[in-house]
Amino acid sequence: MSTGLKVGLLGGGSWGTTVAALVARNASIKLWARDQATVLEINEQRSNERYLPGARLPAKLTATDAIEEAVAPMDVIVMGIPSQNFRMVLEEVKKYIRPWVPVISLTKGLELSSGMRMTEIINEVLPGHPAGVLTGPNLAREIMSGYAAASVIAMTDQVIMKEVQKIFHCGLFRVYTNHDVIGCEVGGVLKNIIAIAAGMGDGQGAGENTRSAVITRGLAEITRLGVAMGGEVQTFAGLTGMGDLVATCTSPQSRNRSVGFELGQGHSIDDIINKMYMVAEGVKSAPAVIDLADRYEIEMPIAREVYEVLRGGSNARTAFRGLLRAEIGAESEPG
């Protein structure tokens, strides 16, 4: 069912392209990608093989490498840009966006220089534009293959949120609403760090029981920091907390788990990153997460061990040994 809205989506990676394909069922969509070859491939071959091998894109999805074309006429802007480039692209959007147009983030990361969430950057660069986040346990290739999935749109303005919900909700892709922007966004960021830890265990053959413990204790860390930052505790038991965490910690499609797995196999972080052409947000955001933990005085032993490995102060084997030896106490206590 067409909403009659015009949507500009910025970012030609796997998730940005997938969301654009979903939106094409409900609205007029124009995808912006910096790479001209990607734009030509989407327009002429209906594919994006580098990021979504074998996937067929809908004819209604068209692409451009001119950012003005993807922003100026649009009723909604969707940002599928990696966290460390998010602000720079948003500054370009600012030149062309019409007043009061909502801006929705797909990005699960923190800006390293400021520790800011993506909706905070939207509010700073584009004051007056309703900001929101679409997040949840969403693996791009599964969704493009037609598997059922659920996601969450979070905004503070409930009226606008329900209209934006209609853009994304379609078929087997169910989109729920949530007013807790902080909680939904923080869950999406922090689960990437825990997924690296889970991957490090998997890479060392740690077993299902260990992975379950890492996921569960990881959720406790996420919840503690998220609530301290202003999120609501129940959010972390939902799709954007536990749901996203489980998917990211267990799927071979998860980039962050894959980074951890390679670390667990003894490879260096530099070698792993050099082989990747997609961003693992957990690697980028880890220092900002630890800064937030320190600022809010929250104990995050799993996140801290991951950070030490990523910065070269430890290795996966030593880190996992440290976690397994952690002092025991009540389950509700940190550690």
Q: Which residues of 38-58 are buried (b: 16+ CB within 10 A; e: fewer)?
A: bbebbeeeebbebbbeebebe
pLDDT surpassing 80 at residue 332: no
Q: Across residues 41-53, what is the average pLDDT?
A: 96
User: How many Å apart are CA 202 and CA 254, to the nearest integer?
Assistant: 13
Give catalytic residues, as residue numbers.
Answer: 191
Model pLDDT for residues 94-128, shown as the tens digit of each residue: 999 999 999 999 999 999 999 999 999 999 999 99
User: How many Å apart are CA 307 and CA 51, to the nearest integer?
Assistant: 27
Identify the pLDDT of residue 326.
56
- The CATH fold assigned to 182-324 is N-(1-d-carboxylethyl)-l-norvaline Dehydrogenase; domain 2 (1.10.1040)
User: How many Å apart are CA 31 and CA 65, to the nearest integer?
Assistant: 8
Token readout for 9 is 């989506």
Token readout for 207 is 């077993």
Contact 320, 206 (CB under 8 A): yes
Identify the pLDDT of residue 329.
54
Q: Which CATH class for the 6-179 domain?
A: alpha beta
pLDDT surpassing 90 at residue 3: no
Give the pairing type, strands 76-79 and 149-155: unpaired
Lowest average pLDDT, out of 102-111, 162-171, 313-322, goes to 313-322
Give the pairing type, strands 173-178 and 149-155: parallel
Lowest average pLDDT, out of 83-92, 274-283, 287-296, goes to 274-283
Token readout for 156 is 């503070």
Identify the pLDDT of residue 318.
87
Find, among 124, 63, 133, 134, the residue nearest to 94 by Cα: 124
Residue 297 Cα distances to 47, 93, 290, angstroms: 47, 36, 10
Please tell me whether residue 110 adopts helix, strand or coil conformation: strand
User: How many Å apart are CA 93 and CA 108, to the nearest integer?
Assistant: 20
- List the chain domain ranges: 6-179, 182-324
Beta strands in 116-200 (DSSP E): 131-135, 149-155, 173-178
Q: In what order do the strands lie in the sheet with 173-178?
A: 61-64, 28-32, 6-10, 76-79, 103-105, 131-135, 149-155, 173-178
- Mean residue pLDDT of the chain comes to 93
Name the burial class of residue 141, with classes exposed (0-12), middle (13-18) and buried (19+) by CB atoms within 10 angstroms of its CB. middle
Lowest average pLDDT, out of 73-82, 224-233, 288-297, 325-334, goes to 325-334
Give the pairing type, strands 131-135 and 149-155: antiparallel
Q: Across residues 149-173, what is the average pLDDT?
A: 96
User: How many Å apart are CA 37 and CA 47, to the nearest integer?
Assistant: 11
Strand partners, 152: 135, 176
Q: What is the pTM of this model?
A: 0.93
Identify the pLDDT of residue 335.
57
User: How many Å apart are CA 3 and CA 5, to the nearest integer?
Assistant: 5
Same fold across 6-179 and 182-324: no
Which residue is associated with the tokens 């050099």?
A: 274
331 pLDDT band (50/70/90 cuts)? low
